[in-house]
Amino acid sequence: MQYIDEFRDREKIISLVNRIRFESRKPMRIMEVCGGHTMAIHRFGIPSLLPGHIQLISGPGCPVCVTDRRFIDHAIAFSRQPDVIITTYGDLIKVPGSSSSLEREKAARADIRIVYSILDALTIAKKNRRKKIVFLGIGFETTAPGTAAGIIKAQMAGLFNFYVLSAHKVMPPAMSAIIQQGVPINGYLGPGHVSTITGSAMYEFIPDKYNMGVVISGFEPLDILQSIYMLVRQHEANQPKVEIQYSRVVRPEGNSQALELMNEVFELRDDWWRGLGVLPQSGLAIQQKYADFDAEKQFNIEIEPTREDKACICGDVLKGIASPADCRLFGKACTPTDPVGACMVSNEGACAAFFRYRKTAAE
Amino acid sequence: MTKEQKIMLGHGSGGKLSHELISSLFLRHFQHPALTAMTDSAVLNLPEAQLAFTTDSYVVDPLFFPGGNIGRIAVAGTVNDLAVSGAKPMFISAAFIIEEGFPIATLEQIVTEMANEARHAGVSIVTGDTKVVGTGKCDKVFINTAGLGFFHVEFPPFPGQESVKPGDVILISGTIGDHGMAVLSARNELPVQSGLESDCACLNELILEVRKASSRIKFMRDATRGGLGTILAELCEKSKFGIEIQHETIPVRESVRGMCELLGFDPLYVANEGKVVIVAESSDAQRILLALQNHPLGKDAAIIGKVVEQHPGFCWLKTEYGSSRIVDMLAGEQLPRIC
């Protein structure tokens, strides 16, 4: 397949692995902060190619995983309202709330529909004018412009039965918090999709302030290995900087149109991240001028008190200071079929990836 | 019956309408003396033999998709369940749960497809049932089929999972993921024109050819829901052996790969309706492969891996560039990713 097979070329991969093995001397912990990277790393078996002293750890890159349980409770409460249709990306459907999940509510006849894009949700709103359509807006800078465009389209089309519940977040505050909270890492595998929108400049504070490198990576085996190689070279030479490996997609200035859309609709607010706590100016709230479409403002309903499972260590897993295997619940009380923590739910979650691809210490 | 006729609750009442539907539709298409006798059970004359018996229910949305439809799957799925156990499929039952208002013309299309598929596979539909439920109580039509097969003296049941040993080879009869992706693209939820067709087919003839070629087959299973990956994970779960498969040897169509890449799916976990996984002694690997490839339904067959002593209980996938990872069972459904 064109544009894919080139990046899985056997000879190139082997030669790159050899270069990493040859040039890397110092132990290294590299954190990926994009769920797509977590999945790709496991799917292609990247860890099995690296020397033992290079460790890959998963950070808070899965939007589903870092989202507050209260958000799910909120969505569930909406789904129980008469004449409400919930539209959501597939990943959210299994995430446990305090006492239920969207999947369970769906089985109990709530109208919950999986969509591939916010445009599908708008079509549903157009076809069901008498119902209220709530779109669950989740994700980082990657999906936020899409949600913004959806809201603007809804306004232009006069779809006032369309609402967004926003849990959108931005990535840099989390990358900063990881370092400040003392998680031992030596470099970031920069998020490919997020950076397509934002560009690379927003990471400059990481080498400047924390003396740590960031390489923005693509998602194929060669991309990831080349990015690791670039980080190894930076680390060996002690010259941390921001580099773009994924240059066929990411521009230093980002996608200005998408950024404009985001700024038009959203504003920054303090937001709660699983494992990291409240991070200043890290969440995206819908601005007052688009309040008609803000589910938080338009629905006045009671939400059950939030309950978390105390044994769940998703927080530490997200920070990269615990491995999924360290969790008492992992693989026993918490499995992809019956998840306790969000990290086990999402395809991109560290626990789900770990469970699926490396279930035991058989490696 | 005219074209515009719809299924009404009365068609499931057991009264006159039911009889009309049965005689003018089901009996007409599924002709067999045991069925037309209209007794409570079919009385069957079987050779004295070991029997295989199976049942499965079919719910597909949409009912018709490129390469197949619910009727064909309902016959082929049950035929395949019998065939992979080593039996010769002979008799099939067909039970319909139909939603009120369902067009009888569409029902007839489905029934015709079932009759054709059964004829093609050499099995007879000999008993059945019809129930009609109110609007919204089921999605258009659900079909349950049960199947009865027998074992020829020359072809006893396969030795099964317990006989599998390190050194055995693993084969697949063709490309994986065709059915799942064809159905998904037919659902109109995706703006994708894949040109993909389901692989829905009866495999009993293919399996017979393979059996003629080799007596050293140990285990067979049709890789349906859950895909090839789930079958392999199940096969070694709780076993004293492990499985190692080689990524580049697994046949996947480019269009299936492309759609999987787009949606973040793994073809290993996408459904098939006409593919069989075979475990056999390595000495017969080439004979089996040749027998598969000589049949139209097995032309893309491949040897994809082997049974190993290492990592008992787990299936590992090796890539062409030397990395490896575990192949686990699919938990729930594959869902499209956010980013």
In chain A, where the domains are located: 1-296+309-315, 316-355
Residue B100: inside a domain: yes
Phi, psi torsion values for A333, nearest 5 degrees = -75, -20
Whether A245 has a pLDDT exceeding 50, the answer reads: yes
Residue B294: inside a domain: yes
Residue B17: inside a domain: yes
CATH topology of domain A1-296+309-315: Rossmann fold (3.40.50)
Determine what percent of chain A is predicted with pLDDT higher than 70: 97
The confidence score (pLDDT) of residue A363 equals: 38
The confidence score (pLDDT) of residue B338 equals: 55
Whether A2 has a pLDDT exceeding 80, the answer reads: no
Tokens 């719910």 belong to: B59
Residue B44: inside a domain: yes
Those residues whose C-beta lies under 8 Å from the C-beta of residue A52, and which sit 6 or more positions away, are none
Same domain, B252 and B134: no
CA separation for the pair B67, B200 (Å, rounded)? 7
Same domain, B174 and B321: yes
Name residues of chain B where pLDDT drops below 50: 339
Residue B234: inside a domain: yes
CA separation for the pair B271, B286 (Å, rounded)? 26
Residue B64: inside a domain: yes
Q: Could you report the per-residue pLDDT of A166-210, keeping only the tens digit for each?
A: 999 999 999 999 899 888 899 999 999 999 999 999 999 999 999
Residue B337: inside a domain: no
CA separation for the pair B91, B58 (Å, rounded)? 18
CA separation for the pair A230, A19 (Å, rounded)? 11
Domain end position, chosen among B150, B185, B216:
B150
Same domain, B257 and B315: yes
CATH code, domain carrying B129: 3.30.1330.10
- Put simply, the chain B residues between 86 and 115 with a CB less than 8 A from any chain A CB are none
The confidence score (pLDDT) of residue A194 equals: 94
Between chains, do B323 and A43 touch, taking CB under 8 Å as contact? no
Chain A positions touching B335 (Cβ under 8 A) are: 90-91, 93, 114, 347
The confidence score (pLDDT) of residue A155 equals: 97
Cβ–Cβ contact B190 with A under 8 A: yes
Between chains, do B311 and A362 touch, taking CB under 8 Å as contact? yes
| Number of domains forming the structure of chain B | 2
Residue B335: inside a domain: no
Same domain, B165 and B300: yes
B293-332 b/e (C-beta count within 10 Å ≥ 16 → b):
eebebbebbbbbbbbbeebebbbbbbbebebbbbbbbbbe
Containing domain of residue B253, as a range?
Answer: 161-327
In which band, very low, low, confident or very high, does the pLDDT at A27 lie, cut at 50, 70 and 90?
Answer: very high
Same domain, B77 and B142: yes
Same domain, B169 and B112: no
Q: How far is A334 from chain B (nearest CA, A)?
A: 12
Same domain, B71 and B32: yes
pTM of the model: 0.81
The confidence score (pLDDT) of residue B188 equals: 66
CA separation for the pair B327, B250 (Å, rounded)? 13
Same domain, B142 and B192: no
CA separation for the pair B214, B207 (Å, rounded)? 11
CATH code, domain carrying B313: 3.90.650.10
Whether A80 has a pLDDT exceeding 50, the answer reads: yes
Chain B positions touching A4 (Cβ under 8 A) are: 257, 261
E strand spans, B227-319: 242-246, 276-280, 302-308, 315-318
Closest CA to A223 of A244, A197, A196, A201: A244
